[in-house]
Amino acid sequence: MVPSALMEIDLQRKHRVKHCPQGTNLPRHRCICQHFNCSEKTSVILMMLCSITSPTSLGFIYERTLCLNFLNYFKLLKDLKGLAKILNICADKGKDHPEYVSILCEALQICRLPFLKEKTSDELNYARDVIEFLSHMGCLMRVPDAEVRQQIVECVKSFYNSVVPQQLIEGLQATSPGYRLQLLEQSDLAQTLLLSMGALENQPAVKLQLLQTLQILSSYSEMNCALILNARGAETICLHMNEPDPSGQFLFRSSEILWNLLEKGSKEEVTAQLSSIDCVVSLKEAFFYQLLKGFGHSDLQLRNDLLVITTLIAENPNSLLIESLFAKQLMSFITFPELRNHNPLVRNLKLSYNNEDLKMKKLLLNLLVLMSRDFAALQLYKEEQVMLALLTLVKPPAALPQRRSGARHWSSIQQEALQLQALATLSTIAPLMLDDYISCQGNACLLLLLDWCVGQDAFFGQGHSFHGTGGRGSKKAHMRHCIRVLRSVTSVGEEIINQDLCDQGTINQLLGILIQMEKGPDEDDVVTLEIKSDIQLILSALCETDMHRKELFGSEGVEMAIHFLRKGSDRFYSGLGHNKLILSTVDCVWACIVGCYTTEDYFLAKEGAFLLLNLLTSSPRCVHSIVLATLLELCDNPNTLSHILSWRDDAGQTAPRVLLQLWREEEENLGVGRNQHGGIADPQRPLISHHQQEHSQLSFPANTPSPAVLEISENLRSKIYSIFCKLGFQDLPGLSTKDYVTLSIVRRYLDFKVCEVWEEIRRELSLDGVRPVSPDGEALSSICKIAEDTARRVTAEQFSILEQQKKEDIIEEKLMYTEIKSHWKQRELTAKSWESYVSKTSNYEIMKEVKAQREKNIESSRTKSKDAALRPKEHFIGHVMSVENTDAQGPAGVKLALVRAPIKPTGQEEVAPTTQDPEYFSTVSVRDSTDTLV
């Protein structure tokens, strides 16, 4: 088929040479292309290319047109492998024959259109061919011709805005829009385009197009960003962004590519590539060029973008900002315009004091925080007086110097944002530069700002910046950051700084602020709670080691602590910061109250111990350790024990019972072996937790605490044992049998722990292959035997407690059964009484007998009344009228006044008629119904 087709093509070439410029629509090409397979089409095109002669002849024009028409039908997915071969041949021949370059360019224009498919399954079947074709297209960047390179990058850009042709060959259809983009990510086209940047130094227009293409590739796909980074794309872009640029867009495009790589690629990889000395120098040149030469809004934005990239590099500990002198030159701009500087760069700097300049100033302050991790950077801060500049920025508006009229300066909103940013920077830098902080009188400056924060002058915070959150319309944001700086400074423990604060009355000032905030009508929010907890932490840091400062804390501080303890832990998990406030309050009690008998007694008088125990029962487990530690320290005061023993919770439980319950919960969390009654399950391991058993076959270095020692500080058992040592182990109120079982273990905690440590020593010696000398070995064996014997004695004691409880339970059970039996007997008597009553009222025979018996009793009673009428009247004591005490001892010392009442005969009393049988509901034993009638 191929020879005949070539003959037909040759005939057309001979007869239609004169129409070759307009011969782009050859009617026979469609038929030929439809009947040829891929290899045949490739052979046809190759023969045509080989037949090209002079580029000026009409034959060349015709052959060229013919080839392009064939290539136009060469976009089927199954033909792409052949098309890649043709493009490579044109690229190779273009070195010696420039006429092939034009064909290559026009062929690349054709490649901009979507690929075609005959069947839907072609997209999957020929995916590998498409990937290889895209990779070959990137390799065409080796052709030095600028037009070819421009066509390649334009072709790649067209993939992202391709339009489906309106007329397609019959039986064919275009591939889906994202098909090429999906396969492009799997090819190495992005890497190839990046690597070709080095060959475009003399072709700035093509380089600009290439940067635009790389920007598109990096903005649409994370995989493309990964491929570019694999080829060290961030470093390559950074090193080429300062090259001569007639268009003025190289730097902008390069920064956009770097931003895309940071957002969609690996941030760590990008910063690692940009941390080299060459990249840092390149960034420095670009930044200072934009800083000193850029005046437009876009130039200022680009300047800030470069500064953000520099900030990200500063996060990398291996960055070379200091070695490249970039950091030193930045210091001059950080302190401008607060301090005068004679640096020539600063002289040429003209700030517009607009929002972009404000962003740059805030970015520079943020850069101080990131660079402060390096000691060399701190030395730069000292040389450039950074601390003085920051303290100048944080001064309240009333302390700032008067501004000259007509001079440019920061607006009030901008000044507020910079003030808050400077405070946030100081909270990190001040603890690292205490000498500069002291020499610049940082405490006085911050206390002056704190006085301004609590003042009543008219100031309305804007709250627009990140650090101004929660402070809109007030000075709350300023107070928040000022308190935060004081907290960071006092937490270092430098005595000179803490003493200076106390000398200036900081303790009373902070207590006053807390009381004022509590009296305010505003509800607690995140910012307010943070301020309160930070103030308490500052007070704790100031008073912890000095008795005189605890006395200054005094009753006012105790009232403050009591107030916050009364709030309890109901809102511990509210998410606003109540958890931090509770912890800081307990820490404040520990550091500011405990240790000073004056404040301790006042704290106990205000029921402080009760509040701590209430907090212990209601708070989560994470609070128990610090509460128990505070109670333990408070137990050194002899007045504390009576408060602890007299305390009861809402359910009536005593403090010892609550402590023993915490002990059981702690052992359950630790996985300590206990039987069903809470007693010792294994006498050889009375205290060992599950974690210790897991590490029982490990040997630890001498400078590392063993698990037996480490667990003392990691759980509550040692603190509970210490508190019981203060309370005693006898006559504790409100304990149950289970509590006594647990108490027997608590009493022996120290003995068990000492033996446990010795057992650990023996085990580690065995693991290390060390055999102790005979006396030491016997001593170790004796200690372990004593521990086991002690555990067995405790087990026997626990068994005795349980047996005694069983006996008491049996006695109580018998008493209960006796009571139940008596109750049932009572019910039986009541039932018999009812049956007797019913029988007397329903059975006629019984009623007659009852009536006869009644008449007989009446007759006998009449006879007795006649005998009684003949007797004289007798008197009997009726009432006691008064009682008087005399000086005599015993019964003789009591004088009674009595009233006598005569006893009348039975016949003289009037008998009221009875409407109900007196035996109804009687509980008296009924033996004979006739004997009980009256």
Same domain, 637 and 673: no
Which helix (H) or strand (E) segment holds residue 61: the answer is: helix 58-72
Q: What is the mean pLDDT of residues 454-480?
A: 77
* pLDDT (tens digit per residue) in 146-159: 888 888 888 888 88
Residue 4 lies in a domain: no
| pLDDT of residue 255 exceeding 90 | yes
In a 3-state reduction of DSSP, which class is residue 512? helix
Backbone dihedral region of 409: left (phi > 0), alpha (psi from -120 to 50 degrees) or beta? beta
Alpha helices (H) along 455-546: 476-490, 495-503, 506-519, 526-543
Same domain, 424 and 553: no
Residue from 562, 555, 550, 560 nearest 615 by CA: 562
Residue 180 lies in a domain: yes
Domain of 449?
Answer: 386-398+410-462+477-504
| pLDDT of residue 303 exceeding 80 | yes
Q: What is the pLDDT of residue 558?
A: 96
Same domain, 635 and 680: no
**Residues whose CB falls within 8 Å of the CB of residue 400, separated by 6 or more in sequence, listed in order:** none
Which helix (H) or strand (E) segment holds residue 671: the answer is: none
Same domain, 528 and 494: no
| pLDDT of residue 34 exceeding 50 | no
| pLDDT of residue 309 exceeding 90 | yes
Residue 863 lies in a domain: no
* pLDDT (tens digit per residue) in 348-361: 788 888 999 999 99
Query: What is the distance of C-alpha 662 from the center of its chain?
Result: 27
Query: Higher model confidence: residue 474 or residue 656?
Result: 656
| pLDDT of residue 932 exceeding 60 | no
Same domain, 714 and 743: yes
Q: What is the pLDDT of residue 67?
A: 52
Same domain, 703 and 757: yes
Q: What is the pLDDT of residue 759?
A: 85
CA angle, 651 as apex, 648 and 652 as ends, to 5°?
40
Q: What is the mean pLDDT of residues 671-698?
A: 81
In a 3-state reduction of DSSP, which class is residue 917? coil
Backbone dihedral region of 315: left (phi > 0), alpha (psi from -120 to 50 degrees) or beta? alpha
**Residues whose CB falls within 8 Å of the CB of residue 891, separated by 6 or more in sequence, listed in order:** none
Same domain, 454 and 513: no
Residue 533 lies in a domain: yes
Residue 313 lies in a domain: no
Same domain, 499 and 509: no
Query: Higher model confidence: residue 845 or residue 614?
Result: 614
Same domain, 540 and 427: no
Q: What is the mean pLDDT of residues 451-478?
A: 77
Q: What is the pLDDT of residue 114?
A: 77
Q: What is the pLDDT of residue 905?
A: 46
Same domain, 481 and 541: no
Q: What is the pLDDT of residue 234?
A: 93
When divided into structural domains, the chain yields a total of: 4
Residue 335 lies in a domain: no
Where does a domain end: 647, 664, 688?
Answer: 647
Q: What is the pLDDT of residue 101?
A: 80
* pLDDT (tens digit per residue) in 490-540: 999 899 999 999 999 999 999 999 999 988 777 788 999 999 999 999 999
Alpha helices (H) along 159-296: 179-186, 189-195, 204-220, 222-230, 233-240, 250-264, 267-274, 277-293
Cis (ω within 30 of 0) for the bond into 337? yes
Same domain, 154 and 177: yes
Give the pLDDT band (50/70/90) at residue 310. Answer: very high
Spatial distance between the Cα atoms of 314 and 321, rounded to a whole number of angstroms: 7
Give the pLDDT band (50/70/90) at residue 400. Answer: low
Determine how β-strand 894-903 pairs with β-strand 116-117: unpaired
Best mean pLDDT range from 130-134, 279-283, 834-838: 279-283
DSSP label of 342: -
Residue from 49, 55, 54, 57 nearest 9 by CA: 49
Bridge partners (DSSP) of residue 674 are: 680
Where does a domain end: 601, 617, 647?
Answer: 647
Q: What is the pLDDT of residue 893?
A: 57
* pLDDT (tens digit per residue) in 594-649: 999 999 999 999 999 999 999 999 999 999 999 999 999 999 999 999 999 999 99
Query: Higher model confidence: residue 234 or residue 774?
Result: 234
Q: What is the pLDDT of residue 924?
A: 38
Name which of 57-66, 114-123, 234-243, 728-737 the model is least confident about: 57-66
Q: What is the mean pLDDT of residues 384-391?
A: 94
Query: Higher model confidence: residue 606 or residue 129?
Result: 606
In a 3-state reduction of DSSP, which class is residue 880? strand
| pLDDT of residue 66 exceeding 60 | no
**Structure tokens, 681:** 């399950």
Give the pLDDT band (50/70/90) at residue 274. Answer: very high
Q: What is the mean pLDDT of residues 82-90?
A: 80
Which helix (H) or strand (E) segment holds residue 117: the answer is: strand 116-117
Same domain, 540 and 669: no
Spatial distance between the Cα atoms of 254 and 238, rounded to a whole number of angstroms: 7
| pLDDT of residue 214 exceeding 90 | yes
DSSP label of 820: H
Q: What is the pLDDT of residue 853?
A: 86
Q: Are 279 and 233 in contact (CB under 8 A)?
A: no
Determine how β-strand 116-117 pairs with β-strand 173-174: antiparallel
Q: What is the pLDDT of residue 636?
A: 92
Neighbours of 806 (CB within 10 A): 11
CA angle, 20 as apex, 14 and 25 as ends, to 5°?
110
Q: Which amino acid is at 299?
A: D
Query: Higher model confidence: residue 404 or residue 264?
Result: 264
Average pLDDT, the chain: 81
Q: CA 330 → CA 186, 293, 520, 592, distances in Å?
A: 42, 16, 44, 44
Give the pLDDT band (50/70/90) at residue 5. Answer: very low
Query: Higher model confidence: residue 61 or residue 660?
Result: 660
Give the pLDDT band (50/70/90) at residue 866. Answer: low
Give the pLDDT band (50/70/90) at residue 919. Answer: very low
Residue 890 lies in a domain: no
Residue 213 lies in a domain: no
Where does a domain end: 629, 647, 665?
Answer: 647
